């Protein structure tokens, strides 16, 4: 087997563009909490700020023994009382379980005396069938039967606003029925702003109320209030944000105890994942779109769908890759795939990949759970040694293979809450 060095050279320009436009999200599959004993998660931002303003100090009653009363200086002279130290702001924690949020987490968090605020976030895919300027001019209009998939969440605006800051807090709190909040990146892709509208398949037409930082809505493309979201088909609770005081480990233990035995759960705090959302091991769909483009689709039976042929022609290429042979992938990710496989060959580790276990790169379908569009639909994920590493079972991938692909910008699903060890997916430019 030989390396396709010519392939890497031909695609170098595509890789340079990918590197220049990408956010440095290196090794996000390894980010984790010291108190989190479960592996990194499945289901596909910078972190949310503290959830609340400092609590007002209490007054009245005698002070602790050995302290001076208010207004008395070090020499006993009276004067202005010193400003009391503000109480620390609550910490923020994300909790989620695969295939929907376990209701035990919500009930336990709601009744926990150390939890001061929660936001239950619903999520899923909604289909855009048209978008228009405030004056009525059409922006996007897929053909009859076609739609553009959007990663959406639905929240209680007042509750969720407590987990944002600055102007985003007012924007989220002000979300009204029939409106949508767009993230910054989504607004750029959609070419929409406040006052413009989005028509959703089988659901409402919503008006853009505001545009916020991507982190304010967990990296989703748009956010709706709970009632509007239910009308649009967002009925599954996906994750929980909570503000708390006290010991994090103890809180996690109380939350975990509310789950059925063996139920997998993920906890994350600020700084431990790029976005506080479910599926924190992979890029949100909006960032995949930003790097690899957006397509219209037409849903079919099962998890497969028709995909815009024009997007396919502009984005996908069929290439010969080291070890595995011919594959159809997104042209912008081919250099990294070829580089990773070539490094495997150069390291005399080709035996770690069974060519018969290659289960494809591009495949126009949703995830098996049906809640999102698979990254295979963009041709930026690849299944290797899949027969020996079926979804849901512990990994038998060689750590050397996983490490090589990580250097070339791919996460691998061994540590996901629902393991998918045969799956390698783009998350960042190469960082060799």
pTM value is: 0.80
CA–CA separation, 314 and 304 (whole Å) = 21
**Comparing C-alpha atoms, which of 23, 39, 21, 43 is closest to residue 31?**
39
Query: Which of 34 and 319 is assigned the larger pLDDT?
Result: 319
Question: What's the pLDDT at 412?
Answer: 94
Structural domain boundaries of the chain? 5-32+283-426, 91-268
CA–CA separation, 356 and 344 (whole Å) = 17
Q: Out of 56-60, 183-187, 295-299, 416-420, which region has the weakest mean confidence (pLDDT)? A: 56-60
Contacts of 9 by beta carbon, 8 Å cutoff, 6+ apart:
none
Residue 362 has pLDDT above 70, yes or no: yes
Please enumerate, as own/partner, the contacts of 383-386 that have beta carbons within 8 Å and a separation of 24 or more.
383/357, 383/358, 383/359, 383/422, 383/423, 383/424, 384/324, 384/353, 384/357, 384/358, 384/359, 384/422, 384/424, 385/352, 385/353, 385/354, 385/357, 385/421, 385/422, 386/357, 386/358, 386/359, 386/422
Q: Could you tell me which CATH class the domain 5-32+283-426 is placed in?
A: alpha beta
Question: What's the pLDDT at 117?
Answer: 98
pLDDT mean across residues, the chain: 84
Where helices occur in 44-89 by DSSP H, the ranges are none
CA–CA separation, 419 and 308 (whole Å) = 31
Question: Which pairing describes strands 138-140 and 91-96: parallel, antiparallel, or unpaired?
Answer: unpaired
* pLDDT > 70 in the chain, percent: 79
Residue 24 has pLDDT above 50, yes or no: no
Question: What's the pLDDT at 67?
Answer: 28
Residue 58 has pLDDT above 80, yes or no: no
For residues 237-257, average pLDDT: 98
Residue 158 has pLDDT above 90, yes or no: yes
Question: What's the pLDDT at 13?
Answer: 41
């Amino acid at each position: 087997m030989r390396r396709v060095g010519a392939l890497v050279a031909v695609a170098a320009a595509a890789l340079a563009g990918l590197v220049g436009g990408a956010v440095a999200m290196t090794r996000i599959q390894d980010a984790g909490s010291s108190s989190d004993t479960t592996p990194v998660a499945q289901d596909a931002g910078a972190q949310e700020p503290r959830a609340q303003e400092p609590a007002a100090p209490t007054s009245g009653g005698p002070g602790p023994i050995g302290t001076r009363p208010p207004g008395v200086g070090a020499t006993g002279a009276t004067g202005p009382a010193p400003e009391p130290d503000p109480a620390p702001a609550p910490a923020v924690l994300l909790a989620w379980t695969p295939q929907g949020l376990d209701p035990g987490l919500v009930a336990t968090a709601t009744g926990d005396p150390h939890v001061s605020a929660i936001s239950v976030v619903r999520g899923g895919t909604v289909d855009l069938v048209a978008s228009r300027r405030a004056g009525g001019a059409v922006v996007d209009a897929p053909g009859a039967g076609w739609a553009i998939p959007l990663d959406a969440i639905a929240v209680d605006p007042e509750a969720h606003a407590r987990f944002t800051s600055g102007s985003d807090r007012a924007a989220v709190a002000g979300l009204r029925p029939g409106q949508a909040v767009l993230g910054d990146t989504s607004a750029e892709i959609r070419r929409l702003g406040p006052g413009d509208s989005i028509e959703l398949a089988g659901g409402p037409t919503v008006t853009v109320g505001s545009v916020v930082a991507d982190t304010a809505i967990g990296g989703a493309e748009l956010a709706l209030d709970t009632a509007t979201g239910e009308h649009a088909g967002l009925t599954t609770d996906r994750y929980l944000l909570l503000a708390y005081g006290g010991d994090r480990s103890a809180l996690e233990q109380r939350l975990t105890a509310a789950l059925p035995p063996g139920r997998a759960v993920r906890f994350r705090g600020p700084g431990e994942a790029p976005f506080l959302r479910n599926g924190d091991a992979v890029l949100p769909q909006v960032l995949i779109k930003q790097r690899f483009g957006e397509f219209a689709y037409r849903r079919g039976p099962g998890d497969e769908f028709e995909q815009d042929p024009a997007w396919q022609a502009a984005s996908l290429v069929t290439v010969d890759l080291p070890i595995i042979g011919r594959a159809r992938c997104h042209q912008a990710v081919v250099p990294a795939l070829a580089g990773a496989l070539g490094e495997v060959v150069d390291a005399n580790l080709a035996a770690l990949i069974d060519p018969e276990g290659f289960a494809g790169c591009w495949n126009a379908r949703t995830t098996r759970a049906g809640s999102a569009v698979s990254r295979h639909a963009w041709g930026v994920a690849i299944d290797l040694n899949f027969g020996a590493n079926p979804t849901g079972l512990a990994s038998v991938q060689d750590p050397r293979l996983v490490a090589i692909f990580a250097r070339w910008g791919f996460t691998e699903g061994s540590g996901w809450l629902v393991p998918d060890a045969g799956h390698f997916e783009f998350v960042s430019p190469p960082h060799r």
